A and B are shown apart, each in its own frame.
Chain A
Amino acid sequence: MQIFDIFLLEAVLNGILFGGVLALLALGLNLIFGVIDVVWICYAELMMLGMYCVFFLHKVHGLPLVAAFGAAVVLVAFLGVLLHVLVIRPVLNSEPINQLLVTGGVLTFLQAAATLAFGIDFRNLGVSMPSLAVGEISLPWSRISAALTALVAMTALYVFLKKTYLGTAIRAISQDRAIMPLMGVSPSRIYLLTSAIGGALAGLGACLLVLQYDVHPAIGLTFGPLTFMVCVLGGLGNMLGGFIAAFIFAQLIAVGGFYFHLEWGYVMAFGFFIIMMFARPQGILGAK
């Protein structure tokens, strides 16, 4: 094999683009963990519902794609709030592991309910975008725009958290849960807001992924585990760590899949995760 392989370069570039989307998904989960201190195991299932929303509004009801995207983001944001109020709030003060398991129940429920409602068919949005060809490398625009949108969304969230009053309140809650109520910040309202933002990010992720992948009820199982591992690898709640970890993970999958087979890419990524857990259990950027 040549040292510089054009197809390898293409795999690397695809990995970078995939990393952008993965980083967006991890960001939503990290935000929720950092603020509310729960892991939404069912995060990717919320995303799956968003994908169905885009599919039905655009393909079946003929709404413009942008309107369908907007609706999906709003819907999933609402689902995030609903999840918090109905499921998370009742177990907020029980053992942490119950909070993990309860969202595991939501995962099973959503996946099965989607199977009931939509069947197990793979559904394609049918929006085809051209590819960008640079020399011999061709990159689909759907991937490029997804990665760019993810970057913009992440920057917007960063500015929101750093520059606005509400953003400051969110960061403050994640730093000290006990003291903030004394400073006049209502945690329950911040939790609701965070759930909505986390949900909206999942909804946005849904819009970006539905352009590249077929929707089916089990698609959450493809992206869910990846997202958790990216978050844990980066240090749960550590947004910058999650960002870096997303790109490492995406590279492993893309390049590993290029040399061997897609599944081996996943095996390598998961194996890397397990090894890293022992090398740096607090995450790549986490403080001990």
Chain B
Amino acid sequence: MDRRWLPALAALAVLPWVVPSSYVVHLLVQVLLWSFIYTGWSLMGRFGLVSFGHGAFMGIGAYAVVLLWNFHGLSPWLSIPIGVALAVAVAVLIGYPCFRFGIAGHYFALVTLALTEVVRSVIVALRDTTGGSLGITPNSVLKDGVTWSVQALQFADKRVFFYIALAAWAFGIWVWHRIDKSMMRYAMEAIGSDEQAAASVGVNVTRTKLAITMISAALTALGGALFGQYQQYVNPETVAGIGVSLQIVFAVIAGGMFVRFGPTVGAVFTLLLTEGLRVGIGNKVNALDSTIYGLMLVLFIIYMPTGILGKLAEKLRRARA
């Protein structure tokens, strides 16, 4: 990435030391991890490949790490690559036939929706291993004065996880940037506007779509694994299923799926909304945030389909011209 970004990244890096409480650090970690996942989704979404299946990839990543740790004592350093590989394998299994047989648009969205539900149902059905709907907690090594373990990827201090999340987020932005500057982007844009025309000028439609899907699934699975490690708890409803898939889609649309920092803005926006409501109204009305989310998603799509940051960028460009 551009050298100009280094000061900004450095400024972000000191943030956990200047913010007033560990609650704020917690919010920052949440924003970074979700931004990373949203960025992963937008890699596909920006080219019109709207997937409701990212809950599945996230769930696979998160559960693979926790289960391998609890039952085989495998360090997350080894199980994260395994989880990511599994998610990529599933992405290929679903993506290849979809793209090969030209399943797109509504159909693609519904097939991926089925995938999310398969993963969620399997997690619930294997309740003897996965804890079912109650979720599962990775065995903790943080006791008797042990406050951190690199091998178990468990840290009592949230600030450590902040740096992991920051690195993941920067990596996600870097991937987005690389794809934006690559030939793949032009190929995907051509496919997005007319698949047959793109194929006729020599774009390998299946391979290009599959590549972007694999990258997107890998990032999302990694995000899921890190999210599970940070929370030290995974639950089928919060890391898999339609709910998560819709949450991802909503945040990205709110922020803007066609601009690099759009998903990040979406993560900040949705988190501020949730936390703002919680602080303002209290925990009692916990469905209020979702009510507002749903309403805003509808309004965004009708009135501002390019999202907050997309709209801002548009305005700036117009003002400059």
Contact = CB atoms under 8 A, between A and B. Distances in A.
Interface of A: 39, 87, 90-91, 94-98, 100-102, 104-113, 115-116, 217, 221, 224-225, 228-229, 232, 236, 261, 263-264, 266-267, 270-271, 273-274, 277-278, 281
B114 A105 contact: no
B297 interface: yes
Given A90-B302, A101-B301, A109 B242 contact: no
Given A270-B117, A270-B121, A100 B103 contact: no
Interface string B248-286: 011001000000000000000000000000000000011
Contact of B297 (A104, A221, A224, A267): A104
A107 B121 contact: no
Contact of A225 (B117, B122, B289, B294): B117
Interface residues of B, number: 47
Contact of B110 (A90, A95, A229, A271): A229
Nearest to A115: B287
Contact of A108 (B98, B241, B290): B290
A277 B97 contact: yes
Contact of B298 (A106, A111, A270, A271): A106
Interface string B72-112: 00000000000000000000001001100111011101110
B253 A101 contact: yes
Contacts of B242: 221, 224-225
A90 B297 CA distance: 14
Main secondary structure of the interface of B (DSSP, over half): helix
Contacts of A101: 50, 249, 253, 297, 301
A278 B117 contact: no
Contact of A102 (B101, B103, B118, B297): B297
B65 interface: no
A263 B124 contact: yes
Nearest to B297: A105
Given A106-B298, A116-B288, A229-B110, A264 B125 contact: yes
B113 interface: yes
A100 B50 contact: yes
Nearest to A116: B287
Contacts of A113: 287, 291, 294
